[in-house]
Amino acid sequence: MAGPRDPATDEPRAAELADGGVPQPPDAAEVEAAREAAAQNREQRAEKRRATVRRVRTRVAQVVWIVSVVFALVLALGALCVALKANPDNALVSFLLKSADKLDFGVFARTKDGVYHAVGNTHAAHTKNAIVNWGLAALVWLVGGQIVSRIIKP
């Protein structure tokens, strides 16, 4: 048997073993010091957990904001492609237009189902539809992303 140990330092108590090996009860100062050390240790662990949670929430909020900005940028570039009469057979233009069509929630579609619909089948009408509807969708992504980011961020 290793013998009685000091709760604060986890070392053998020399004073207790001095009386022929008969353990003595710890005095009040030792007990109080051990309690304070344990409480301080718990507080340090809790602070580390809180700091970790803050870091994770900050990173998640940053990712949400970046994703919303990228989605708004795709919508803006899609509208620019429509306005500049970019070749829809080009892989990049096709990707941007298809992605923008998916990111517009259907409510901001550049077809007659969108919020704004310019009458006519001209390039000017298609450009107005794309710029207004996808511009509004981009604003919704930016505002929504900022709101969600602020909710998540500590």
pLDDT single digits (tens) 46-73: 999 999 999 999 999 999 999 999 999 9
Q: Provide the whole-model pTM.
A: 0.71
Q: Which of 9, 7, 40, 39 is nearest to 25 (CA)?
A: 7
The backbone torsions φ and ψ at residue 63, rounded to the nearest 5 degrees and listed phi first, read: -65, -40
pLDDT greater than 60 at residue 26: yes
pLDDT single digits (tens) 30-53: 888 888 889 899 999 999 999 999
More confident residue, 126 or 147: 147
Whether residue 104 contacts residue 121, with contact meaning beta carbons closer than 8 Å, is answered with: no
- Measured CA to CA, the distance from residue 13 to residue 32 in angstroms comes to 16
Q: Going by C-beta distance under 8 Å and a sequence separation of 6 or more, which residues neighbour residue 50?
A: none
27 exposure class (CB count in 10 Å sphere: 0-12, 13-18, 19+) = exposed
Task: Give the start-to-end residue ranges of the domains of the chain.
Answer: 14-152
pLDDT single digits (tens) 93-116: 999 999 999 998 878 777 777 777
